[in-house]
């Protein structure tokens, strides 16, 4: 039945920070994580991940080396290499030291017209390169108000879930678009309802055992003040955090809520 899933606290820095900011933020988190690991009884109950802008991957990987913090890309291209100016391949992310790639964030779906099929292809490219894909889905306010929150998430999940998805290579992030960067957070009831739906849909797609092990993150205005309540929900296995991932106090505060 209830599988033990390791909480993932993932920071999505989006297009924020310069080289010096990235170094100091990652460095400070690394110091905190090292201190936590050094305490005999306090092996971190969570996995920490930071996803900086692509150009800052190098300095961030260096800053967290050996500190027990994973690094991820915010996107990857579906192709392995080639004439795709400005894009980043999953293989390059891997070679830089990344473990994860976020795919299908709603800002990419909106800014770059990414469809479910494109998101699925990107997630499969991430797998091929040896990365875990964090596949984002979530409804808009309009869809929620029209009573279509469940059907929207079901459709996006079905369309974006990579072939061969397992609990090891895939994480789902439920991010209601109306909660991203708005300060409006989903209520525990709203979050749990969609997370449970996602797990039930995953069970149909990849089998109950694998679905029970797969992590489903909540994203959208998660802060130290609301994290404990959200992270305690039965089907919430971590957070994908934007604004609050940009300061040590907030991001560490969320991790402390685990
Ligand atoms: P937010 O962003 O925490 O600033 O709402 C979350 C996200 O977009 O991943």
What distance in angstroms lies between residue 243's CA and the mean position of ligand 1's atoms?
6
Q: Is 105 a catalytic residue?
A: yes
pLDDT in tens, 215-228: 999 999 999 999 99
Q: Which of 77, 175, 195, 201 is catalytic?
A: 175
Name the residue with the closest Cα to ligand 1, atom 6: 242
Residues 246 and 222: their CA atoms lie apart, in Å, by 12
Residue 243 vs residues 157, 182, 217, 247, 248: alpha-carbon distances, Å: 25, 10, 16, 8, 11
What distance in angstroms lies between residue 11's CA and the mean position of ligand 1's atoms?
9
Here the tokens at position 127 are 């797998």
Residues 256 and 42: their CA atoms lie apart, in Å, by 12
Average pLDDT, stretch 117-144? Answer: 98
Q: Look at residue 4 and tell me whether its pLDDT is greater than 90.
A: no
Name the residue with the closest Cα to ligand 1, atom 7: 242
Cα 131–chain centre separation: 13
Name the residue with the closest Cα to ligand 1, atom 2: 242
pLDDT in tens, 193-249: 999 999 999 999 999 999 999 999 999 999 999 999 999 999 999 999 999 999 999
- Going along the chain from its start, the domains and CATH numbers come out as 7-16+66-163+175-256 (3.20.20.70)
Taking 3-state DSSP, the helix, strand and coil percentages for the chain, each rounded to the nearest 5, stand at 45, 15, 35
Q: Is 175 a catalytic residue?
A: yes
List of residues 6+ apart from 201 with CB closer than 8 A? 154, 157, 158
What distance in angstroms lies between residue 41's CA and the mean position of ligand 1's atoms?
32
């Amino acid at each position: 039945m209830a599988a033990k899933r390791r909480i993932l606290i993932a920071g999505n820095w989006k297009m924020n920070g310069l080289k010096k900011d990235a170094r100091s933020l990652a460095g400070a988190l690394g110091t905190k994580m090292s201190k936590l690991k050094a305490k005999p009884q306090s092996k971190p109950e969570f996995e920490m991940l930071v996803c900086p802008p692509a150009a800052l991957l190098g300095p961030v990987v260096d800053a967290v080396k050996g500190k027990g913090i994973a690094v991820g890309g915010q996107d990857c291209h579906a192709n392995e290499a080639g004439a795709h100016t400005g894009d980043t391949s999953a293989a390059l992310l891997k070679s830089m030291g990344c473990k994860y790639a976020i795919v299908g964030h709603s800002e990419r779906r909106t800014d770059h017209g990414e469809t479910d099929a494109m998101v699925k292809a990107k997630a499969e490219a991430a797998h091929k390169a040896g990365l875990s894909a964090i596949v984002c889905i979530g409804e808009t306010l309009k869809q929620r108000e029209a009573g279509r929150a469940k059907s929207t998430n079901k459709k996006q999940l079905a369309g974006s879930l990579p072939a061969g998805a397992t609990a090891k290579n895939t994480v789902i992030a439920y991010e209601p678009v109306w909660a991203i960067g708005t300060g409006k957070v989903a209520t525990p009831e709203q979050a749990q309802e969609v997370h449970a739906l996602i797990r039930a849909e995953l069970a149909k797609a990849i089998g109950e055992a694998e679905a029970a092990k797969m992590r489903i993150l909540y994203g959208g205005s998660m802060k130290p003040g609301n994290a404990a309540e959200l992270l305690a929900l039965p089907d919430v296995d971590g957070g994908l955090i934007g604004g609050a991932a940009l300061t040590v106090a907030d991001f560490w505060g969320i991790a402390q809520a685990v």
